[in-house]
Structure 1
Amino acid sequence: MAVETGAEGAAVVVDGPRGVPLLGSLPEFGKDPLGFFTRLRDRGDVVRWRFGRRESVFVSHPDAIGELLTGAETRFERNDLGIAFRTLLGDGVVVATGAEWRRKRSLVQPSVRPKQVKAYAATMVECAVDVADRWQDGARIDVRAEMSALTQRVAVRTIFGVDTEADSTAIARAMDVAQEEIGAEFSGLGAVLPDWVRTPGRARIRRAARVIDREVARIVARHEASDAAERPDLLSRLLVAQDENGVRLSAREIRDETVTLYIGGHETTAGTLVWAWYLLSRNPRVRAALADELTAVLGSREPGFDDYARLPYTQAIVKETLRLYPTIWLMTGRSAPGTTIAGVPLAPGTRVWSSQWATQRDARYFTEPEEFRPERWATDTVHEYAWFPFGGGPRVCLGARFAMVEAVLVLAVLARRFDITVSGDIRPVPKLTLQPDGDVWGTLHSR
């Protein structure tokens, strides 16, 4: 299915909501970002709207999304997502542009290649087994807290090479504050306020960033006092990485990249696992099919890295979870001079938006889009860029394989021993990542 086009071949551009003076559609967007993007999707493939005073277009067709993602660094520049976002991530590989982005990507990428992810798989499984050993039949647990603590431990061990409660707790608490404030800033008035305006939210994220800076600096100092070249964690690899000119990452760059990897390895996977348990709790048929696969492939043993490829249905559950509840729920870029999208000319600096939430729930690309059907990944042909939870193109998430392997192996360890009945309904709230709207309580049932 192609983008709907007019007589001259360019996409049909439709007008979105009129908005209000100065703020445009920011109030409507801020009130319900997911619903707002869904409504834009239903208006057309390319929709004009205003984010504050900025000219914007929203694209929902996979072909146009592919143009946005593959045109990164050439036709579309990375957007400035605000002072709160920059305060947390600094100038890490997610934020950097141009030659600096290429340099940083070349230094970070070797740490998350398949060979390295294989080495981290044992830690993922070990942490999950520790949780399963502690769980008891009939116990009531906070699923969100349990998954967050588990993936946090995996992240701290694989990224920082440490495993102490003090290291984990300080960083995790600061990250929780940062995520909350970034979401509030991005969807509220802070999105249009100049950087120099001081607000309580910006003060809170600065305090959280100082905690993160202090903890990362302490862990880096500990690494530098040892022989980093002999350690298997991601931080040690970053400390010894050199670019083509023999230059290593600075202390600030190390901080920015480790924080970026921490968010990718902890926040996104924890959220995916919470939504997976929620969906499994409401779909007994899927839960039974998962149990059958785990019994057939694993029997009574724990999974290893090689089992990842032997668990296609478990993978499909994770992919379907990411389709319905994508942890990264929007992508955005800014048009360079002379740029078009779907054949539509864009003024320089036009902000182009797309949303995983909106496109991945579009009935044109997914049969029964609101239904949790992992089988679709074995039977249906999915349009390229209709599913893009990790982005795509040259700036595809570096930690995508790490996140997939972790989610599949952790789910395999826990679901082999337990089912979880989640109580009540939970609502997605878009912050830095897509989060449940509160605690997620569930009851454990031994298998």
Structure 2
Amino acid sequence: MPVSTLPLNPVHGPRGFPALGNLVAFGKDPLGFLTRLRDDFGDAVTWSLGPRRSLFISHPGHIRELLAAREDTYEILEMSWALQQITGQSVLLSKGDDWRRKRSLVQPTVRPRQVRSYAEAMVDCAEVAADRWRDGARIDVRREMALITQRIVLRTLFGNDLGQQGEALGDAVDVAEQAVGAEVRGFSLFLPAWVRTPSRRRLVAAVATIDSEVHRLIRERQDLSRAAEKKPDDLLTRLLAARDEEGRPLSPGEVRNEAVTLWVAGHETTSTALTWTFHLLARAPEARARLESELRDVLAGRPPTIDDYERLTWTQQIVKEALRLYPPVWLIPAVAREGATLGGTRIPAGTIVWCSTWTTHRDPRWFSAPDRFRPERWGADAPDPVPDHAWYPFGGGPRTCLGARFAQVEAALVLATLAQRFHLDLPDTEVPPRVGLLLQPATPLHATLRGINRRTGLAS
């Protein structure tokens, strides 16, 4: 386990209200509040979220140490009743031996070799969307990206496109995501589970829809696997076939939890990243022109394949820079156990230690002009090396997101497929993020489509 050589010297942060602590300020503007902690107080700041003692850390050395230690001297924060309803005790929220068992069962389903086999579906789903688009039409970018990534997840996770059931499932996940965001920002965070606020009632109904559909899919896949000579090659089939060291499979409830977690991670996070990517490209004509040049040179008018991924270096840099500026997962908490330390300093047991990709990714110490969209900062010849864990959109340590490779390949291939066929012209205006479970645009992003010849790069 890496230990930071940088001493950690916490200072007291802003005073809060009795019982509530800094909850009001945090809930009103979470991103601004955390940025002020970093800028006004330093790299290690104590504050309080309601009655809970908290420590906010901003230095990549301390963040690396925290993320590496989360399975040894830190625990998962069980603060969101809403999130637990969605994912259950999946690999995302499970602990200890239970977490190690589930990770060993889930990880093989998203290894690079498996991701490679899903690349064709990623491109095909993006092509289906582009075939439907028309020159001069107006689209809701977030909705279109969500439809594409939803279809990709349904193809790779469940093996088919669910039609209207898929739309209902997607709508239910949207409701659930909004409920988690509302709970994290508000007073319902401290309400007991039996209190049913309007938001919680909507969540319960959404989870019922998710459960009904996912359990139906599990039963269908079990029946198909028993009847077919050749098993389907999708994530759900792999989850059902997985066995631990003692030969035990995941239970139907555990399969449901992992499938829903993979669904949310594979659908919502990537569609959010792609939405922000097109917003940023619309305001950076030179970066977009360089993207189109790379697509012409590498693809020569054909759709991309997984073999093109490593050659699409500028495309990858665009995705990486979009994830820097607008990381879908913007906050990572951990709870200190007895004996926890950071930077050689003892952290009292029960303290919630927080780090934020939003504030670290926009720290001027690690990134020049941190609020500017500059994909070139990720080039092999970039003059300013980025410190380890100054960029960590997928977390770090043993709990690094299992789907990180899937998400990066998916985002790059979908971007390449769409960008070689259309310009998405959006207003040159700043769009603030809306803080929920993920960082979504606070206002709809409507783009005008301009069709281009994928071989020449010229307008159709």
Q: Per-residue deviation at 1:4? A: 12
Q: Per-residue deviation at 1:131? A: 1.1
Cα distance 1:230–1:4, how it changes in 2: closer, same or farther (>3 A)?
closer
Take 2:234 and 2:362, find their aligned partners in 1: how far apart are those partners?
37
Residue matched to 2:121: 123
Superposition RMSD in Å:
1.4
1:410 aligns with 2:414: yes
Alignment of 1:307-346 (within 5 A): 307-346=308-347
Alignment of 1:339-378 (within 5 A): 339-378=340-379
Does the 8 Å contact 2:4/2:65 carry over to 1? no
Q: Kindly tell me the number of residue pairs found equivalent between the two proteins.
A: 442
Take 2:7 and 2:402, find their aligned partners in 1: how far apart are those partners?
33
Q: Deviations over 1:301-347 (max 9, x none)?
A: 11001111011110000000000000000101000111111222111
Residue matched to 1:386: 390
Take 2:321 and 2:104, find their aligned partners in 1: how far apart are those partners?
31
Take 1:108 and 1:290, find their aligned partners in 2: how far apart are those partners?
35
Residue matched to 2:142: 144
Residue matched to 1:73: 71
Residue matched to 1:426: 431
Take 2:195 and 2:342, find their aligned partners in 1: how far apart are those partners?
34
Residue matched to 1:226: 224
SS of equivalent to 2:56? strand
SS of equivalent to 1:218? helix
Q: Per-residue deviation at 1:429? A: 0.9
1:294 aligns with 2:298: no
Q: Deviations over 1:345-401 (max 9, x none)?
A: 111010000000000000000111011000000113110000000001000000000
SS of equivalent to 1:362? coil
Does the 8 Å contact 1:170/1:215 carry over to 2? no
Does the 8 Å contact 1:41/1:359 carry over to 2? no
Letter in 2 for 1:117: V
SS of equivalent to 1:50? strand
Q: Per-residue deviation at 1:161? A: 1.0
1:20 aligns with 2:21: no
Residue matched to 1:443: 448
Q: Per-residue deviation at 1:122? A: 0.3
Does the 8 Å contact 2:4/2:62 carry over to 1? no
- Match for 1:114 among 99, 107, 112? 112
Residue matched to 1:36: 33
Does the 8 Å contact 1:4/1:45 carry over to 2? no
Letter in 2 for 1:373: R
Residue matched to 2:180: 182
Residue matched to 1:248: 249
**Which blocks of at least 5 consecutive residues in structure 2 are unaligned?**
453-460
Report the TM-score when normalising by structure 1.
0.97
Q: Per-residue deviation at 1:199? A: 1.5
Letter in 2 for 1:169: E
Take 1:347 and 1:126, find their aligned partners in 2: how far apart are those partners?
51
Aligned residues with identical type, % of pairs = 51
Take 1:38 and 1:442, find their aligned partners in 2: how far apart are those partners?
31
Take 1:406 and 1:82, find their aligned partners in 2: how far apart are those partners?
29
Take 1:144 and 1:170, find their aligned partners in 2: how far apart are those partners?
17
Letter in 1 for 2:271: A
Letter in 1 for 2:98: E
When structure 1 is superposed on structure 2, of 101-110 and 416-425 the one drifting more is: 416-425
Take 2:367 and 2:298, find their aligned partners in 1: how far apart are those partners?
29
Take 1:11 and 1:425, find their aligned partners in 2: how far apart are those partners?
36
- Match for 2:8 among 7, 11, 26? 11
SS of equivalent to 1:318? helix
Q: Deviations over 1:180-229 (max 9, x none)?
A: 11100111001122223221211111111111000001111111111276
Letter in 2 for 1:201: S
**Which blocks of at least 5 consecutive residues in structure 1 are unaligned?**
none
Q: Per-residue deviation at 1:252? A: 0.5
Letter in 1 for 2:153: A
Q: Per-residue deviation at 1:410? A: 0.2
Q: Deviations over 1:14-73 (max 9, x none)?
A: 211111010100110000111111111112000000010011000000001001100011
Letter in 2 for 1:396: T
Does the 8 Å contact 1:107/1:243 carry over to 2? yes
